[in-house]
Structure formats: structure tokens, C-alpha cells
Structure 1
């Protein structure tokens, strides 16, 4: 491999591997978020955030040492698409479907610390439901021995069905408090009945956005951990039980990184990525924090937007030969940076930093004067 693409760099006579860099960046950013929160005087919340975060991280990391070898023995290896970055072909055979131990661990701890309250149970069931859709897709990939799972129409249909059931439950039980979207500066956007189709759209869009983001070693695990921790801090003043749920899933993502950091020993698959998006959206809907959720997860939507732009531009520029032009070198966006000469570790570290900055931008206004 050309030296400029290597993920190992000598600095002051010390070699820093991609694994160590990811651990430093992810851990450092999360500690920064916790440290700033402590400076703002929320020591009680810090305890509530830290305990489920550490507990879920430990359980997930420990579970991985048993599940990852099992997945390998079952030959649950990932099939890499041939039109993707050529450097990824060496990842073929790496076990996938790691969400089967990531998501249950996070949800279990989240429900326990949340006291199995109705809102926590609702968020947990939606998360598990989207994880089930992802599992079906991963299972079909493995069964067919290709990178094609269930059809896009089937996947979207299942997402819409579970989103509709979730929104119906929220409408019947929480409708009196969920008709507006909180905006900056204490403003609010009253939507009335329009809140519910928007909520359904957010569930489907968020889960697909996190699914597209899961394309590099440690990428969705780290950005998901930061986004969930940030969302937990946002909802803490009004919904401490959901704060604990977010913290637990964030910790589970960190525990998963023990096995998913570069070079990954396991991928989370759709089982994990769809569930994480569902969890973020569910908490945002239940707390009325859709605008902060949008800012917090802008990186995920940038990934989605890059795919939309790529497909649209390609179709619009098709010539007589049926071949169009590409706006990006490759989509989603993280592949564009890879093909622009960035190492995989550099892309992941940069996306961690962007997600952390977005999280701090949203959390900062919550700080007391």
C-alpha cells in the first residue's frame, strides 16, 4: 500500500495505529462532552448518564467476545459490493449482523435504568422493531450469499408500518403534549395534526440515514455514540428516563467499537444501523425535540443527501450511450473522501469530530447562564 494511504503514522518516534487513533478520538470527544456538561453544573445528570453508559459498554464489549467467534463459525461473513472502493474488498468475509448483541445490550440497560416507564418501553420496542427489519435484511444477504438483502420496497414498507404503529400509540397516549416542534431561542412551531406525518417521515428517514452512514470501520459506532449521548443531554431536563435510554445505547456503541474499530472484526449490519436510527428518531419524537435532532444528526443526512444528489445527477446527465456523470467520486459521502485520498481512519476521525461539534452546538444553549 502506498505510504500516503497508510493508517499508521510515526509521531515523535511513536507509532499510532488506526485502532489507537479511533479509540483516542472517540473516547476524547465523549469525555469532552461529559466534561462540559459537568462544568455547566449538571452533576446529578452526569451520574445518570455515566452509569448506564459504562454498564452498557461493558456488557456489549464482553458479549462480543462470545458472539463474534460464533458469527465467524456460522460463516456470517459480509459480502462486499464490487462497485465499492477496491480497498474494501479485503474486508470480505468479516462477520456482519453484529447488531444482534449491540442493540439488545443497549436496550436492556436502557429499560432497566429507565424503570420500564411507558416512554422508555415505546422507544425500546421501536428500536427492536427496526433492528428486526435490519436482521431480516442481513439474513437474506447471508442466505443468498450476495450483497442484496430484502427488496428496498419490502424494507421501506416494514419501516413505514412500524413507524405508523409507533406514531399511533404516541397519538393515543401523548397527543396533548406533542403538537409542536421546539425551535431555538425558546420558539416553537405549532404543527397540530401535521406533527404525525412528520414524525413518521423522521423515523423512516433517520433509520435510512444511519444505515447509509454505516460504511467504514467504526464510523456508525462512534458517530452514533456521540449523537445518542448528545440527545441524552438535550432531553435530560424534561425526560430523565429517556436520557438513561440514550446513554445506554451510546455506551453499547462504545462497547461495540472494541470489536468494530479499524480493522473491524465484526460489522453491525442493518441489524444495528437501522435500530440506532430508529432509537434516535423515537426519542426525538417522544420529547418533541425534532429540530435539535435534525442538527445533531446533520452528518447522517449529509450522507443521505449525497446519495440523492449522485443518483439525480447521474440520471440527468445520461448521454445517448446511457451513461451519466457522477457528482461525487462515489456515494455515500464517506466513500467520496476515501477516493479523494483520505485514509479510512482519517475519514472516521473527521466524522467523529463533526458529530461532536454538532452535539455541542445543540447542547450549549441548554447551559445555565
Structure 2
């Protein structure tokens, strides 16, 4: 009985998940204090970050039972890690409670700054795509939502509209990218391709990363605070948006830590990537965004490499070899013996390192 208790879904995993959450919150708060202490902006990010973290955490307690009553239980893919089968039935669509809180707070705190309004619309639009996808999954009672083609079309449409808004309302310098050591790279017409690709790719990459309890939410919280520190000198309003998003993600992780009581679903994962990319574009910080999004990039790259290698080694029997035990990378680590909390903890530390690197190269 003792062994069963500690190996249960609510035993040691809950304790380690809680410790990981406390560690994440502590590091994020120390980072916030460090950024506020630099004096780079007249606006503090401490209050919006803490307020959104508390608000999303509290609202989650009321939202999760509602999601359970609506029978929004997750359908777990059968070809995924067998350990994930016990997660079937956990409420999904958690993005519906922490994203609106962060967006509304950012809009109010920034007094409806034009740039914040734009990135908020992108965030909510991608949340809408994810919500549609999640709802289709629940309606069909499978792990397949809207078709990949339809999802991509909607993502590209929003990215194009956002780029159109950017080039028509922002200074001509919007088509430049800030590089290390103060260099600015003019893109010209390439802006459309690079910026549009960044929004769609970032959204899908964050979606791919959302596969282990607490992973996508925690990495995003760290990433948003990194972006907040980078944009603070030039755009206090966008800094506020990033602080609110970071707080919202942290409040969500309070319920999503291992073992998760709720998943963010595509409703949340598509939106946080789109939000990061939108901030990176408007603030001319696509290069810094690329560094901060290193984990998202590697996770996506692992899927591309797995599929490509499988196709390249396909024999007469129609079967190929696998580069990884399972893609994306976090599933490979799971099947290699890593626990979920070990994976999440390691990824958090790597993300903090990437944020520091982006700040150093700014």
C-alpha cells in the first residue's frame, strides 16, 4: 500500500511538481526584481506580473470544475508515451482562463496602447484557432481537431493581417531587425516572409512543446519575462504586456504542474507563441526572440529531423528508422528514463540561460 501510494498519480509527482513550481516562481520573481532594479523604464513590471499570476491562479480554481462539467477531458494519442494514458480525461482548453486575464490586464495597464492592442488581437486570434481545434477534438472524441491545412491557412491569414497593420501604421524602421552590437539589418520586402514565418512558426513550435506537465507554461513565463527586459528601454507598454503574459503563464502552471489538473490545449499553446512573435516583430527584436525561443526551435527541429530521417531510411517494406525514440525531444527524454519533472526542470534552466544570452547579446 505504501509503495502504491508513493507511485500514484498524486504521490511523489505532486510533491516534486510543487517544489518545481516554487523554484520557478522564486527565480522569476528574482528576475523581475533585477529588471526593475536596472532603472531602464519608468514603468515597473513587478505589479502586473504578480497580479496576473495571482489572478490566473485563483480563477483557475473556479474554471477547472467548469471545464470538468463540460466534459473537456483530454484525448491522449495512443502512439504517445504509455505513461501519458493515465492523463486521459484531464480537462483541457485551460488557455481560456489565463490568456484573457493577461490580455485584459495588459490593455488596461498600458491604457490601450496601440502596439499592445495589436499584439493582444493576435494573441486572442490564435487563441480562437486553438479553441476551435480543441472543441473539434472534443466533438469528434479523438485527438484530431481541425485539419492541419485549415489550421495553417488561419494562422497565415492572421500573420498576414498583422504584418499589413505593422507596415501601414508603424515607422519605416519596422522592416529592420536589431542584431547584436547595435547593428540593424534592413529587410525590405523580405519582412513579409520573415515576419509572417516567425508568427506561424513560433505558434506551432510552442504548440509542439506543450507535451509535458508544466513545460510550455513555465518556459513561456520565463521567455515572456526575457522579452519584457529586452523591450523595456524602448517600449514600456510592450514590457507590461510581456509581464502580464508571464504572470498569466505562471498562474496557469500552478494548476498544470505535475500531475496536471488542467492542460492549456491548443487554446493556450498556439496563442503564447503568436504573442511572443508579435512582440518580437513590433519591437524589432526577432533576433532576440529567436534566442529566447531556442527550446521551441529545438523541439520543432526534433520533429522535422525525426520525420525526415524516417522517410530517408524507408525500405521496401515501407518502414524507416527513427532518429529519436519518439519526437518531439521531451518524449524522447521520457522514453530514455527521465521523469517529467526532471525534463521540465532541465528545460527551465536552459530557458533561463537562453534569456541571459539574449540579454547579453542585446
Q: Same fold, TM exceeding 0.5?
A: yes
Question: Is 2:178–2:284's contact at 8 Å kept on the other side of the alignment?
Answer: yes
Q: Tell me the TM-score normalised to structure 2 length.
A: 0.95
Q: 5+ residue gaps in structure 2?
A: none
SS of 1:189's equivalent in the other structure is: strand
Q: Alpha carbon RMSD of aligned pairs, Å? A: 2.2
Question: Is 2:213–2:256's contact at 8 Å kept on the other side of the alignment?
Answer: yes
Does the alignment pair 1:318 with 2:280?
no
Question: Is 1:313–1:326's contact at 8 Å kept on the other side of the alignment?
Answer: yes
SS of 2:90's equivalent in the other structure is: coil
Q: 5+ residue gaps in structure 1?
A: none
Q: Distance in 2 between matches of 1:99 and 1:304?
A: 21
Aligned to 1:75, which of 66, 71, 78?
71
Aligned to 1:148, which of 144, 147, 150?
144
Aligned to 2:330, which of 334, 337, 347?
334
Q: Distance in 2 between matches of 1:102 and 1:41?
A: 29
Q: Could you tell me which residue of structure 2 aligns to residue 298 of structure 1?
A: 294
Q: Count how many residue pairs are aligned between Structure 1 and Structure 2.
A: 360
Q: Distance in 2 between matches of 1:9 and 1:31?
A: 28
Does the alignment pair 1:242 with 2:241?
no
SS of 2:74's equivalent in the other structure is: coil
Q: Tell me the TM-score normalised to structure 1 length.
A: 0.93
Aligned to 1:221, which of 217, 221, 224?
217
Aligned to 1:19, which of 2, 12, 17?
17
- C-alpha displacement of 1:7: 10
Q: Distance in 2 between matches of 1:217 and 1:310?
A: 23
Question: Is 1:25–1:349's contact at 8 Å kept on the other side of the alignment?
Answer: no
- C-alpha displacement of 1:29: 2.5
Aligned to 1:275, which of 254, 271, 278?
271
Q: Could you tell me which residue of structure 1 aligns to residue 131 of structure 2?
A: 135
Aligned to 1:89, which of 45, 67, 85?
85
Runs of 4+ displaced beyond 3 Å = 5-10, 38-45
User: CA 1:16–1:163 in structure 2 vs 1: closer, same or farther (change >3 Å)?
Assistant: closer
Question: How far does the alpha carbon of each residue in 1:231-275 deviate from its partner, in whole angstroms, 9 at most, with x for none?
Answer: 011000000000000000100001111111111000000000000
Q: Distance in 2 between matches of 1:265 and 1:297?
A: 26
Q: Distance in 1 between matches of 2:14 and 2:268?
A: 29
Q: Distance in 2 between matches of 1:33 and 1:221?
A: 17
- C-alpha displacement of 1:115: 1.1
SS of 2:49's equivalent in the other structure is: helix
SS of 1:136's equivalent in the other structure is: helix
Q: Could you tell me which residue of structure 2 aligns to residue 211 of structure 1?
A: 207
Which sits farther off after the overlay, 186-195 or 216-225? 186-195
Question: Is 2:167–2:175's contact at 8 Å kept on the other side of the alignment?
Answer: no
Q: Could you tell me which residue of structure 2 aligns to residue 99 of structure 1?
A: 95
